[in-house]
Structure 1
Amino acid sequence: MIRLNTVKADIRAAREKLAARIGQRDLILKERDQAQIRSLEASKQLGVNDQVQILLQKSSEYARQQVKGRVEQIVTQALQVVFPERGYAFHIVLDVKGLQPIAEYWLYSEGVMRQMVGPDYGRGGGAVDVVTLALRLALAELEQIDGPLLMDEVGKHVSAEFAPNVAFFLKEYSKQLGRQIILITHNEHLAAVGDRSLRVSQKRNGESEVRAI
């Protein structure tokens, strides 16, 4: 009888140990997946920055200063509209390395100036999202890209408190430039601000249903 109880206790302990290891494995897999998502987001955001670098490299010195000023203006305007109480300002510092102009991004807020570097984009965050959004708008304007702008899940790291401000900024920017913006989003504030909004949902049979909202 004692031997049987010992065996049962050993089995119970083994099960608990196995459950703990499974839990650890699931946590590691979850963290890995989240890291991969952050890496993809960082790559996309850094891709926008690379395009700005290319635009600056293609420009003459005079044009480069014009581009710098306009990008700073658009990004700063976006940050101040979305976060009106934080005193954000966006600055580009131009340098030359290997005979090529290089742009460094600096973010001023609440009396502190800090450089935005690669890891900032991996961590995401509301301010980084808004900077990336504004850089895309600036690129489209400066490169004189025709047609509507297509955007997917912009400002998704911006907190609910400031989401309506993102919607207001996009609406005003669209009006000022007379440019149509087609946006895919799960954010109700962004969906509501559109001149026309469509909701796409999946029915039980797997078919998609589209209706105006």
Structure 2
Amino acid sequence: MDINLLNEEILKLQRKIDIDKGKREVISKNLDEVNSKLKSLTEYEDILSKVIILFQKTSSYGRIQAKKQIEDLVSRCLQFIFETDIEFVIEITESRNIPQAEFYVISNYDGYSVKTKPEISRGGGVVDIISIALRLAFIQIHKPIIEGPILLDEPGKHVSDDYIFNLGEFLKQSSNMFKRQIIMVTHNNHLSQICDLSYTVEIKNGKSKVIKNDAN
């Protein structure tokens, strides 16, 4: 009887361990997602800060022109990728003679509009797209001209599969339009396939192996 009771206790402990392992895996996955979103928001905050500094360093006329150019490029990007009537709007105010900027997304529906901060509009995907578009706009309008390629780390990682094809096409068209090489690191198969040249990096036995993919 003592052995049977001991076996029962062992089974109970094993079940509890299995349940706790499952909980740990869920928590670990949620933590990874939170860290990923936090990284995206941090990068987004960084590019917003640069845009605000750009506004602060330009004249009133230059500020208006830069605002229009940025709004237009980001709005076109959002509309192209999400295939809907959506606008990116910058509201500039002054505090102690220092320009301050607030960024909004306006979604237009039949007969009404919804104005929100990008961080709470359509999840993390909108922030990802705005971050990419702002980088392109910032580089293109910056004086003096910033030379060199555009580097992207996991672009659109929070963009759903429904729109990832549009993002890939947008990046390809942007590269051709602005005559800039885009170098990116991605785990997304579609984004890797649109490239003119791509490599796969595999880790085997602790060593990285770089494989050149076939031309697309």
TM-score by length of 2: 0.82
Cα 1:69–1:120 change in 2 (3 A) is same
The Cα shift of 1:200 comes to 2.1
Q: What amino acid is the match of 1:55?
A: L
Which residue number corresponds to residue 197 of structure 1? 197
Quote the residue 1:109 is aligned against. 107
Which residue of structure 1 lines up, in the alignment, with residue 87 of structure 2?
89
Q: Does the residue aligned with 1:89 lie in a helix, a strand or coil?
A: strand
Q: 1:19 to 1:183 in 2, by over 3 A?
A: closer
Which residue in 2 is equivalent to 1:124? 124
Shift of 1:47: 0.9
Instruction: Give the Cα–Cα distance (whole angstroms) in 2 for the partners of residues 34 and 160 of structure 1.
Output: 17
Take 1:11 and 1:178, find their aligned partners in 2: how far apart are those partners? Answer: 66
Question: Against the structure 1 CA distance between its residues 4 and 40, is the aligned structure 2 distance closer, same or farther, given a 3 Å change threshold?
Answer: same
- Give how far 1:137 is off: 0.3
Residues 70-81 of structure 1: pairs in structure 2 closer than 5 A: 70-81=69-80
Q: Deviations over 1:15-59 (max 9, x none)?
A: 333433343344334333332232222111211111111111111
| Residues 93 and 101 in structure 2, CA contact (< 8 A), matched pair in contact too | yes
Distance in 1 (CA, whole Å) between partners of 2:192 and 2:27 is 35
Name the residue aligned to 1:32.
Answer: 31
Cα offset, 1:203, TM superposition: 6.4
Q: CA–CA distance in 2 between the matches of 1:94 and 1:131?
A: 18
1:177 matched to which residue of 2? 178
SS of the aligned residue for 2:199 comes to strand
Alpha-carbon distance in 1 for matches of 2:197, 2:13: 55
Over residues 52-98 of structure 1, what are the superposed CA-to-partner deviations in whole Å (9 max), with x where a residue is unaligned?
A: 111111111111111100000110111111122x1111111111234
Which string of whole-angstrom CA distances, capped at 9 and with x for unpartnered residues, describes residues 121-151 of structure 1?
9x512x2221111001011112221112122
In structure 2, what residue type is equivalent to 1:140?
Answer: I
Off by >6 Å, runs of 4+ in structure 1? none
TM-score, length of structure 1 as denominator length: 0.83
Distance 1:30 1:157, change over 3 A: closer
What is the percent sequence identity of the aligned residues? 31
> Alignment partner of 2:114: what SS?
strand
Aligned residue for 1:48, secondary structure, equals helix
After superposition, the CA RMSD in angstroms is 2.4
Which residue does 1:58 correspond to in 2? Answer: 57
| Whole-angstrom CA distance in 2 between matches of 1:6 and 1:192 | 59
Aligned with 2:101: secondary structure?
strand
Could you list the runs of 5+ residues in structure 2 that have no partner in the other structure?
none
Give the structure 2 partner of residue 10 of structure 1.
9
Size of the aligned set, in residue pairs, is 207
3-state SS of the aligned residue for 1:158? Answer: coil
**Residues 26 and 107 of structure 1, relative CA distance in 2, 3 Å threshold:** same
Q: Is the 8 A contact 1:104 1:115 kept in 2?
A: no
Matches within 5 A, 1:153-172: 153-172=154-173
CA contact (8 A) 1:78 1:169 kept: yes
CA distance, structure 2, for counterparts of residue 79 and residue 102 of structure 1: 23
